Amino acid sequence: MAKIRGQGTLYNVAGSSKVWCQFYADGRRFRESTGTDNSREANAYLRSKLAQAENGSLVLHTSRLTVASIVESKLASDVVNGSDSYDTVIGRYNLHLKPLLGHLKATHLTKDTLFKYAETRQSQGAANATINREIALLKTSYNIAEIPFPKFKMLREPPARQGFMKDGEYQILFSACLAEGTYLAAMFEIAQSFGWRKESIQTMRVRQADFSSEEIRLDDSKNGEPVVAPMTRKIRELLAVCAAGKSQDDFLFTYPDGTPVKDFRKPWCRATMAAGVPDLLFHDLCRTGMRNMRRLGIDTDVAMKLAGRKTDSIFRRYNIVDSRDTREAVTKMDDYRHSSAIDGEALTVEVEMVQ
């Protein structure tokens, strides 16, 4: 990446052989391909754009841009900004969006094209929620590039999943995770304790575990702010094993061969199968953690702070209540009514049977 100080930047985009440029004019940011892989020619292209911007003759050639170039520019920005969801997004793009839509001119993307894309993905077995996330990536990329995006109504999605880990499943599932590796047991313990998302957990570095203060930290949570949580005794023991022999900048969670844990679906699947809960998702631990904090009487504001949430929408969206909660509520009603007294006498209710 090269810079013309205070004016513009040259950079590379994943999947593209061409050099891209970024510059500002009249308070707006412009990004486009230079059309060449030669750094000297790219630098000359950028300087010509800066000159055009200065004399008021600048024209952004959006007609040359493809859908691929628009999205790849957005992904390049994600890398620079250290997005914790980059691996998921780049996979979504490379596997589906790029093969089906990447070749199109950016200005040729239409509502009908998006509908056909959705139909194709449905025929491939993709859920509506997944397709919506893919189209949302397109829309965000277009917005960043300041190119109009076709009006498209997102597909109807089923209600948010409301799965939980049941009370009796904790120990057997923890043991199954530990059998897969200390890394998975530690990730499991953090998720079900604090309601942290897997994307935030799996990208943690050793420096985020402070053993002197016995705290773990997320530098960038879902609410965009740092989150600090005291370690439980079990979390401290597990993380000490995970961090052993590593430097502060190393990934905290790694496989036995030392590679970072990026996709752990297979070991998680084996663990849930062994524990007899094959349908339990790792994300269900997030809901479980929030539910458990509520059960323990932890203040909602404190629970949200530990989980890295700004609002209590997670309680409303996921309906953090299960059958045990409702049974306990009814039991409390019965206990209250049977123990209540009126004028010192036990409350009785007579029910007459009407024949």
Q: What residue ranges do the domains of the chain occupy? A: 2-60, 67-145, 167-317
Q: What residues form DSSP beta bridges with 205?
A: 251
Cβ contact 340:347 at 8 Å: yes
Q: How far apart are CA 2 and CA 24, in angstroms?
A: 15
pLDDT in tens, 95-120: 999 999 999 988 889 999 999 999 99
pLDDT at 355: 42
Distant-in-sequence contacts of 181-185, Cβ < 8 A, 24+ apart: 181/255, 181/256, 181/267, 182/238, 182/241, 182/242, 183/242, 183/253, 183/254, 183/255, 183/261, 184/261, 184/264, 184/267, 184/268, 184/271, 185/238
- Residue 281, classed as helix, strand or coil, is coil
DSSP 8-state assignment for residue 155: P
> What is the C-alpha to C-alpha distance for residues 16 and 103, in angstroms, rounded to an integer?
12
pLDDT at 350: 45
Alpha-carbon distance of 30 to 146, in angstroms, equals 9
The pLDDT value given to residue 344? 44
Taking alpha carbons only, the member of 33, 94, 115, 42 closest to residue 66 is 33
Give the residues of the chain that fall short of pLDDT 50: 1, 3-5, 223, 341-355
In this prediction, residue 251 carries a pLDDT of 95
Choose the CATH number for 167-317 among 1.10.443.10, 3.90.1150.150, 3.90.1260.10, 1.10.3660.10.
1.10.443.10
Is the model's pTM score more than 0.85?
Answer: no
- Which parts of 232-322 fold into alpha helices (H)? 233-243, 265-275, 284-295, 300-307, 313-317
Question: What pLDDT does residue 313 have?
Answer: 58
The predicted structure's pLDDT at residue 354: 42
